[in-house]
Structure 1
Amino acid sequence: MSFARKLKRNKKKLQAVTTAAMAGLALAAVIKPVMAGTPESTVSGVVFADKNGNGARDINEQGIPGVRVSDGASIVVSDSQGNYTLTVNPNRRKTDLVFVTVPDGYKVPVNESMIPQFYQNLGQLQADESRVADFALQPAPETQNPNFDFVGIADVHVQAGTTNNRERFTGQLAQLNELTGSPAFITISGDITNGASDNEFKDFTASTATSKLPVYPAVGNHDFTGGADFSARIDRYRNYLGPEWYSYDYGKKHFIILENNLGMREADQMAWLKADLEQTGKDTEIVVITHRPFNNPQTPDAAEAKKYIDLLGQYNTRLVLMGHTHVNDVATDTIKSADHVVTNSSSYTIDQTPNGFRVVSFHGGKETHPYKMYGVNKNLVIVSPAPGSKVPQGNVQLQANAYNTSSRVTEAMYRIDGQEWHKLSPTGEMTWSAEWKADKEALGEHTIEVRVTDDGSRTWSESSRFTLVGADEAAIPAQGANWPMFHGNAQHTGEALDELSPELQLAWSHLTDGTILTSSPAIVDGSVFIGTRDENGTEQNSVLSLDLKTGRENWKFVPDAQIQASPSVANGIVYASSIRGTLYALDVKTGQKLWEKSIGQQDVQRAWMYYSPTVADGIVYQAYSSKGGGEIMALDARTGDAVWTAKLAGGWIAENAPVVKDGKVYVGADGGYLIALDAKDGKQVWRKQPAGGWMHSLPAIADGKVYMGYGGGLLVALNAETGAEVWRYRSEGESYIAGGTTGSSPAVVDGVVYMGFPNGKVEALKADNGEKLWSAATEGGIISSAAVSGATVYIGSNDGKLYALDKQNGTVQWSYKIGAWVASSPAISGNSLVVGAFDGNVYAFTSEKK
């Protein structure tokens, strides 16, 4: 720097100090004391209004007072002329960055990768060095509008040769840029890369360069390199994407991006956050973007997390957006006044939901954050009356499912036989319905047309031809043998005790405002029991009891979180577990809670229960993941009193629903383990690891063998006594499901194993040696598990259909298009099949044969 330049800069610094003192402004809010001997560098400059956007300060462009400038440790505020001086410890980070908190009414330019340039990379400062860093903020009145949208995504995991390579992520960004409603920007809640390599960061920024929307990143645990300390491990991220924590204002909201992987233990982040919040004040609404949730076993350092929870709860925190766990989950009891919102991954999901994102909307003082699926283009399916179906005269429920990734369907209309158009009413995120009074309509063939319109004024339509028959031809659902739990029994064989012919008609659909993913019905004594999820909040989480004959609600129990698992019913009690680590025992007739067992309810790191309880011989068995790792508990089914608890494996969403047979309990656990325990005391009999990874398939046991599915379409059979492997089989073909998750569980009937795979195939294998007997292809990955009734195999697919396959050769005997993932597994009783779908609805089908 020239002498003249130094003199000019020192003069500005003197003027800044004098002006600040006269104006009563705090030039610097020092939030980390400088210890004796700590090296210092000085960064100074001016924050100015860049009216012409050329990045340089012209003579008529004024400084902006009151703007926060920080290195992530200290915060100073620009004076009345826009000047600031910041003291930096050059040893704190390998690469020194300085950033501003962009206030409402301004924006900053983006770089070639569409990352907002609110920061400057100063390289490696030396002790006693002085640097100049000016910040050009462009006037942007639109950023003061409190009514706006933005997009939140999580866990991108960009890496060549993996699930989410550069090409796939670029395609996802293209979908976000096509959204109606003109979102202002995209936020990413961490795990930008999969391994933090240079090539991965380059692929990520090459993808974001194609976006029309600015991208604000946060750090995930996958974004750290190796290194001796925090400074070394975060350095690559800082060089590509900027500071690991920062803030900005937009739309009268204050956005805070935090690093809560390793950063939760970094004292300078907490000090910076306290100062940032103090300067923001308690009236401004706050939105936090970070990586890890604050309420489950993956929350790092519970004691430190509690400090962040308490601090954010002292301010007007409205929303916290996170990722990490690759699930959708919303809680309202974690941080005071805030929605604690986890969004599943853009790479692969662990709760098995479709990959998606959230459109966060602030309008009229209200905030919403609906989840949306990637990759759905103007979907419209007439669910009822379905093409070719027979519909009895009477009051007919008309139903259509409509969805589009890039827009919101705002209107649906129908007409019969080309007559007058009538409105359909919305339920949930994709269902539209109305009642058609068809008691006096002519018998015979009719046509229904459905037309939908989105918020971009685009329309699309479908039609269906159906036959109206006499009311006396209606097949009324009737109870047969009970189907009391997932796959029908405590061995999870999937064998129905009633024979159901595949000529099925829809008897009823029960509409909910939630979703149904893998929760599968139990059918007991004329009632259907199933769990629902709320992807966007908490109100639609429920355990439902429905009348089998009519589909009407008997009762609804509201749990503390989503019900992903299937309920089990025994001796007048319904058992259902929530993902928040609570097992409920409910009265079968009233839904009244009899008892509950919660794991870690008072802890920050609450437990997970994603999989179903199994009831056998007066004991209810429930596996869960906790901060101490995976465990399974055996409880007295009547009282909930503990009988025993046994350790399983790791702490991820993997400890699954056990099977019980011949005095043993068999359960899958994190890391690919299959474990046999003594049913009396929980002592381990054997432990095997046929494969690695997360477990989503549940075990089945029959004829002395335990069968378990693993990722990538693998099915393994083990000897039930010894755990020795008998055979393994891998279904070949490209997976429809990102990451190749095997979510289907084996059904075992009469010496044959029936299994769905992520490649969309349903295959039959000899139970004794794994030899393939037949293979049937669907057009979507399969998470649903087969139910076998008589000569027919029933199973759902993510192609939106429910299938009936010939048990002997796999030929499709019947199918029904719902137009939403059918990941729920069918339950069969009497003349009826009941299943849930991701549209949130429960469907009952009956056989035409009397």
Structure 2
Amino acid sequence: MKKLSVILLSLILCLPLCAQFKGTVYIDSNQSGILDKSDKPLMGVMVTDGLNVVKTDKKGRFSLPGFAKTRFITITTPAGFETQQFYLPTQENRKTYDFLLTESERTQSKEHSFIQITDTEATGGLGRWVTDLKNYINSEKPAFLIHTGDICYEPGLQMHNRIVNSQTMNCPVYYCIGNHDLVKGNYGEELYESIYGPTWYSFDIGNIHYVVTPIDHGDNPTDYTLKDVYNWLKNDLSSMKKGQALIIFNHDLFTPNDTLVFKADNQHVLDFCPFNAKAQIYGHMHYNYVRNQNGIYTICTGTLDKGGIDHSPSSFRDIKVDANDNITTQLRYAFVAPQTTIVFPMKQQKVGTNTDGQLSISVNAYNSQAKTQQISYILTTPESNEEVVRGTLTPLTDWNWTANISIPSDKNGKELKLTVTSSFNDGKKATDSCSFIYENGFKPSIIPGENWNTLLQNAAHTGGINHSNLHLPLQLAWTANAGSNIFMTSPLIADGQVFTATTDDNVSLNTYICAFDLNSGNPVWKYRTENSIKNTIAYEDGIIVAQDAACHLYAIDAKTGQLLWKQRINLDSYPYLTEGLTTDNGVVYAGIGVGLSAYDLKTGRILWTNKDWRQREGSTTTLTIADGVLISGTQWGGLYGNDIHTGKQLWKLSDNGLGNRGASPVYKDGKLWIISSKSLFTIDPKTGTVLQQKDLSINLDATSTPLVTENEIIFGTVERGVMALDKSTLFNKWKAETLPSLVYTAPYSTTPQAGVETSPVASQGTVFIGASDGYLYAIDQSTGIIKEKLNLGAPIFSTVAVSGNCMIVCDYSGNVHCFTLAQFLPPYAL
């Protein structure tokens, strides 16, 4: 009897611990928002105390024991339902934790989409992007919006949720905690929890189980540990329904190696593959990047309110899940008002047919607040307004649409008018028109000169002043499209061909090194790379070399497009490269940090590897060779000089704003010339001695390499377009202000920008430079007067290439444009 009494007493003592938190999950049948008698219990809903995970019974009831760090009772909102509050804070005297769900079609379907934003860092308030985002959600109707962390510090945490929440965005909104969201308090996540709730939780939509996890480090210590998250995560995933797929959110990438796992310590490692994981989606790095890690996509998105650390365009991400649980993604660029631009044919010019005997039409169109639904065209004769032909265009990239049309023979030699209208999903339209002279068989004369082998022609980047005979007025000879975006890859001109490379920061990874015929623009070959090529490629001795974002180095036969050799660049950290390479005298210089190496151009054999300094965040440096020294740099690290023969570090500069510049130097007159922070610097390349620093009190964190002439130093800026200094005095000589940028690229610059990321090139006294407003500018070299500007309708981040009487310009839509000397001046004015 005594033994039985002890057992009964033990059971009584254990009972509160086994059922410390109880409650019921109901369906709000009449959608009153208040629990009443008509509401029905819901079976099978996952509920957690932060460690243990249970499912509600037939009466919708659950009970949880809790654990030492239980601060919330949280439900996994099931597919087909939404809730005003998926978590309830634990309270000492609270007897029941009841949840109310409403039925929802947008969370029911297997086919659905969602929006990711990240790293808004709302320390100075929220900007125009909020309107773009809200209107995009209203137009495209995603199932939910998620913010993957770095709301930033106490003011941002207090403000952000008041502006970006389920009511203001008109869809469910979820948040992750980032490293800058761990602020002072009893523990780092205390303030975050008081506003946003639990730092780890899950929810279901369609057939996807979505899991939100917290970052493991930050500005202040956390109360949770990776072991806490691991223990809950293991229980949560084991409660998934049979056949479900998994998508995980965190502010940072779990593991940079090829296998994606959650690692608490060496004994507690959780492999996501058995749970049919599709993706881990994160931010933190301030860049756009997608990798396939052993069958699981890891997807990093940059910032939508400012440029990325690597100058990634301001963007958010639209992610679509299909009926088979496969995902596709699309970056969406903030701040672009509805716009349409006819790129080819160009206004007031004579235009011929392509090699198929048809007229090519190329149109760039975009609207941040809605997808482009359709672009239609109509071709007429201006004098009689007679309709010649009408139809619709086909999309090639996220900005560019195209069509090839047949023109009746009786219109040969006649003036024609093309009108295009873009229709967007929000009901808005944008129209553009142009008049031109159509002449069957017309082909502008293209006479190439010297090869353009890399950024600004050579490894010293002195091609900004060259021996071409290009001058105004310009004729657009042809426009071709590479099939995906072109970022900071400067085109090359060599052996009668044009070479460029593309970037695609979506899971499709349509990334290529491309060759086009210089005379016609016809594609010659395409080589598909494993990831985006974001920066400078190079040509030497019949070989194209390029490095992609996932650290693959390629050598391609320039005539055939065949791979000659390939190397893997080992960074010993995040495998991400956004820098540009170069070649010189049979040697390829590629990589960054401990991956910075010299390779034999013909064989790919490694000649040396840097051992003296490491990579930091992604930078936009293109390697420069100056008097036996290889100049490179890292963002938030420094500017480095390494011996080109041995790889030994000779010097490092990181003070006075040289630690976080985006530009590359030019080697001219025995000195390096570079812009950084708010200053122009000249540097001795042998010793790293700063010879001059000119403070200009303007944001110069652009990727523009200065053009050094006899009398001027000319470069792009973040805020004020193009700027020139007097070479002898370094006083301001002129400014040529561009229009506001279509998208932002400069890191941490959220104010309206008139940005120029490209480098100037001068020919016959005219400076040619592309800008982030989508215009190609022709500027008088001496006075700064803008002689001409041509609207290409998409940002230009790629420096132009010039040879003979032709110039190649690439825009972000993937268009490659060939300009030459105008041979026809129309006798009419539009």
- Structure 2: distance between partners of 1:669 and 1:359: 30
Alpha-carbon deviations, 1:466-501, whole Å to 9, x = none?
2335745x3232321011011111111223232211
- Structure 1: distance between partners of 2:801 and 2:268: 45
- Structure 2: distance between partners of 1:782 and 1:454: 28
- Structure 2: distance between partners of 1:414 and 1:138: 45
Give the root-mean-square deviation of aligned CA atoms: 3.1
2:299 equivalent in structure 1: 341
Structure 2 counterparts to residues 86-105 of structure 1, below 5 A: 86-90=64-68, 92=69, 96-105=71-80
- Tell me: CA distance 1:412–1:168, structure 2 relative to 1, closer, same or farther (3 Å): closer
- Tell me: CA distance 1:335–1:840, structure 2 relative to 1, closer, same or farther (3 Å): same
Matched, 1:376 2:336: yes
Question: Which amino acid letter does the alignment assign opposite residue 836 of structure 1?
Answer: C
- Structure 2: distance between partners of 1:469 and 1:665: 50
The one of 161, 172, 176 equivalent to 1:218 is 176
TM-score, with length taken from structure 2 = 0.87
Matched, 1:696 2:696: no
Structure 2 counterparts to residues 441-460 of structure 1, below 5 A: 441-460=411-430
How far does residue 190 in structure 1 lie from its aligned partner after superposition?
A: 1.6
Structure 2 counterparts to residues 20-169 of structure 1, below 5 A: 42-54=20-32, 56-90=34-68, 92=69, 96-109=71-84, 117-122=85-90, 131-140=95-104, 142-160=106-124, 165-168=125-128
User: Is 2:347–2:436's contact at 8 Å kept on the other side of the alignment?
Assistant: yes
- Tell me: CA distance 1:770–1:313, structure 2 relative to 1, closer, same or farther (3 Å): farther
Q: State the SS of the aligned residue for 2:41.
A: coil
- Structure 2: distance between partners of 1:707 and 1:305: 48
Matched, 1:506 2:480: no
- Tell me: CA distance 1:99–1:663, structure 2 relative to 1, closer, same or farther (3 Å): same
Structure 2 counterparts to residues 312-323 of structure 1, below 5 A: 312-323=272-283
User: Is 2:379–2:418's contact at 8 Å kept on the other side of the alignment?
Assistant: yes
- Structure 2: distance between partners of 1:553 and 1:306: 51
Matched, 1:579 2:549: yes
1:293 equivalent in structure 2: 253
Structure 2 counterparts to residues 459-478 of structure 1, below 5 A: 459-468=429-438, 471=441, 474-478=443-447
1:189 equivalent in structure 2: 148
Question: Which amino acid letter does the alignment assign opposite residue 448 of structure 2?
Answer: Q
1:31 equivalent in structure 2: none
The one of 389, 398, 404 equivalent to 1:429 is 398
1:200 equivalent in structure 2: 156
Matched, 1:813 2:787: yes
1:669 equivalent in structure 2: 634
How far does residue 268 in structure 1 lie from its aligned partner after superposition?
A: 2.2
- Structure 1: distance between partners of 2:298 and 2:433: 41
How far does residue 762 in structure 1 lie from its aligned partner after superposition?
A: 1.0
Q: State the SS of the aligned residue for 2:505.
A: coil
TM-score, with length taken from structure 1 = 0.85
1:114 equivalent in structure 2: none
Q: State the SS of the aligned residue for 1:575.
A: strand
Structure 2 counterparts to residues 597-612 of structure 1, below 5 A: 597-600=567-570, 605-612=573-580
Matched, 1:794 2:768: yes
Alpha-carbon deviations, 1:305-349, whole Å to 9, x = none?
999996221122233322122222222x2152x433222212332
How far does residue 758 in structure 1 lie from its aligned partner after superposition?
A: 0.9
- Tell me: CA distance 1:508–1:309, structure 2 relative to 1, closer, same or farther (3 Å): farther
- Structure 1: distance between partners of 2:405 and 2:229: 60
Structure 2 counterparts to residues 667-816 of structure 1, below 5 A: 667-671=632-636, 673-689=638-654, 690-691=656-657, 694-711=660-677, 713-730=678-695, 741-750=701-710, 752-779=712-739, 780=741, 781-816=755-790
- Structure 2: distance between partners of 1:302 and 1:101: 20
Question: Which amino acid letter does the alignment assign opposite residue 361 of structure 2?
Answer: L
How far does residue 40 in structure 1 lie from its aligned partner after superposition?
A: 9.3
- Structure 2: distance between partners of 1:600 and 1:723: 27
The one of 262, 273, 277 equivalent to 2:237 is 277
How far does residue 575 in structure 1 lie from its aligned partner after superposition?
A: 0.8
- Tell me: CA distance 1:839–1:275, structure 2 relative to 1, closer, same or farther (3 Å): same
Stretch deviating more after TM superposition (571-580 or 386-395): 386-395
- Tell me: CA distance 1:208–1:388, structure 2 relative to 1, closer, same or farther (3 Å): same
Alpha-carbon deviations, 1:23-77, whole Å to 9, x = none?
xxxxx9xxxxxxxxxx999222222223244555433433322222112222122
2:590 equivalent in structure 1: 622
How far does residue 214 in structure 1 lie from its aligned partner after superposition?
A: 2.5
Alpha-carbon deviations, 1:802-833, whole Å to 9, x = none?
11111111222222211000111100111111
Question: Which amino acid letter does the alignment assign opposite residue 607 of structure 1?
Answer: P
Q: State the SS of the aligned residue for 1:232.
A: coil
The one of 371, 379, 403 equivalent to 2:366 is 403
- Structure 2: distance between partners of 1:437 and 1:656: 45
- Tell me: CA distance 1:664–1:769, structure 2 relative to 1, closer, same or farther (3 Å): farther
Stretch deviating more after TM superposition (801-810 or 533-542): 533-542
Alpha-carbon deviations, 1:527-555, whole Å to 9, x = none?
11111011323441111111111112222
- Structure 2: distance between partners of 1:203 and 1:298: 38
The one of 502, 509, 512 equivalent to 1:542 is 512
How far does residue 385 in structure 1 lie from its aligned partner after superposition?
A: 1.8
- Structure 1: distance between partners of 2:632 and 2:720: 26
Q: State the SS of the aligned residue for 2:290.
A: strand
- Tell me: CA distance 1:429–1:397, structure 2 relative to 1, closer, same or farther (3 Å): same
- Structure 2: distance between partners of 1:467 and 1:294: 58
User: Is 1:191–1:220's contact at 8 Å kept on the other side of the alignment?
Assistant: yes
Alpha-carbon deviations, 1:700-754, whole Å to 9, x = none?
111122122224x533222334333333345556x7xxxx741222222335322
Matched, 1:259 2:184: no
Question: Which amino acid letter does the alignment assign opposite residue 785 of structure 2?
Answer: T
User: Is 1:282–1:316's contact at 8 Å kept on the other side of the alignment?
Assistant: no
The one of 603, 617, 625 equivalent to 1:652 is 617
Question: Which amino acid letter does the alignment assign opposite residue 204 of structure 1?
Answer: H
Sequence identity (%): 27
- Structure 2: distance between partners of 1:71 and 1:488: 62
1:559 equivalent in structure 2: 529
- Structure 2: distance between partners of 1:807 and 1:226: 54
How far does residue 606 in structure 1 lie from its aligned partner after superposition?
A: 4.6
User: Is 1:501–1:849's contact at 8 Å kept on the other side of the alignment?
Assistant: no
Alpha-carbon deviations, 1:340-364, whole Å to 9, x = none?
3222212332332321112223355
Report the count of equivalent residues: 777
- Tell me: CA distance 1:244–1:529, structure 2 relative to 1, closer, same or farther (3 Å): same
Structure 1 runs not aligned, ≥5 long: 1-12, 18-27, 29-38, 110-116
